[in-house]
Amino acid sequence: MIQPPDESWLVRKSPYNDYVNDLASSNPRLHRPDSEQKHLPGVSWDSRVVNSRIVTFRDGERPNVSISTAVKPDSLSEFLARRDLVGEPLRRAYIFEGMNKDVATVLGNHFWMNPSFFMEYHRTASTVSKKARCNEILATSLATQPYISLPYRNLVALPSELIGYFGLNCSATRRKIEITRFNGEFDSVAYVKRKCLIWSNVRDDGWDCIVICDPPLDHITIRQEGPSKGLVYKVNSKPVAGGYVDFLPTNLQSQRRQVSPRTSLAQDLCFYLENYSTLPGLTLESPDLVLLFARKIVASLYSRHLDHVHQAVIRSQVPMRRHSDFTGLDLATVEANWSSCQTLESDCTSIATTWSIRSPRCAFLSNVLISPK
């Protein structure tokens, strides 16, 4: 039997740390960090930068937004201690870009959520291990987890120095960056895997909702073996081709003339909560509106990624069509194009499976974006 340490890798020594150690017997993954991250260069869990946006909702008032960069645990602890209001419900959404050991300790000691909430955000490995390692969570257990997990993908335009590398990851989170190619050439647009986790608690006098999501992609680290391993490159964090299409009805867009920044999920979520939380049909009585807008944004990001993949499939298939000129199209070229098509089609299927979509064609988009749930 594994003996729990005095201080876990997840949080600092505190009453919440004892809670983590108590639960580790039922969830062995709490005993140790993600094994995949040991081999990846990047910032450690102890020293990651955390930014926050705290949105406070009051009846009859515009939501109040408080923004903090490089959150200090002492300041956050003092803020949470002063959270009580007299004579009115307190409803707050705490939106964090990134997470670290100190901030997780403060949140855990105050809200006492299941520590798997922080552990799952930290991990970069897939839910179901391809190598069948022990202590991997079963897919059937996801339905009982005490939080909502919304993995998503962001398109990124690679600088010329990085085109041709397969081993890349986000320098801040160590999330992998996937590269595609077609017609034997590497695509200049890649996508980075992202995570968003949402936990909420409803009380008699209001509710709290905590969102943890990844920061914008500012730097990429080369993890591929070779002389360039460990080199860090700055990238443009602007959305590729302007980003996703706004999911709000056209009449609302024309009336308010405001659009989301599309720079990160946290900024976009804060924008919609601040400007559109009072739309007809929405209520402040529960944190469901936070989850609603988060799902809308993630679905829009997936639809943008799906459109890019679909266009890449078409470009890969063009040289193999009957009416194409087959001059110089040898067997090796056909095999390479076919392999590229299969990889891209697999990406489409993965997206469709994630969102329970029957077909990866564009017909599903209206259903995903219009659905109220």
Q: Is 351 helix (H, G, I), strand (E, B) or coil?
A: helix
Give residue 254's pLDDT.
59
Give residue 1's pLDDT.
44
Written as six digits, the tokens of 73 are 């645990």
Return the closest-CA partner of residue 316 out of 341, 339, 345. Answer: 341
Say if residues 19 and 117 touch (Cβ distance below 8 Å).
no
Integer Cα distance of 9 and 119 in angstroms: 10
Give residue 236's pLDDT.
85
Helices (H), the chain: 15-23, 73-81, 101-111, 116-122, 250-256, 265-276, 288-317, 331-354, 364-370
Distance from chain centroid for Cα 281: 27
Give residue 141's pLDDT.
58
Return the closest-CA partner of residue 177 out of 166, 164, 187, 185. Answer: 166
Give residue 323's pLDDT.
59
CA distances for 316 relative to 144, 166, 320, 342, angstroms:
41, 19, 8, 10
Give residue 363's pLDDT.
35
Give residue 13's pLDDT.
95
Sequence spans of domains, the chain: 15-370
pLDDT along the chain (373 residues), means of 10: 66 96 88 72 84 93 92 94 70 97 97 95 63 48 76 92 90 89 82 95 93 95 87 89 86 69 94 90 92 94 86 73 64 72 75 62 38 40
Instruction: Specify the pTM.
Output: 0.84
Integer Cα distance of 23 and 115 in angstroms: 8
Q: Which amino acid is at 166?
A: F
Give residue 114's pLDDT.
95
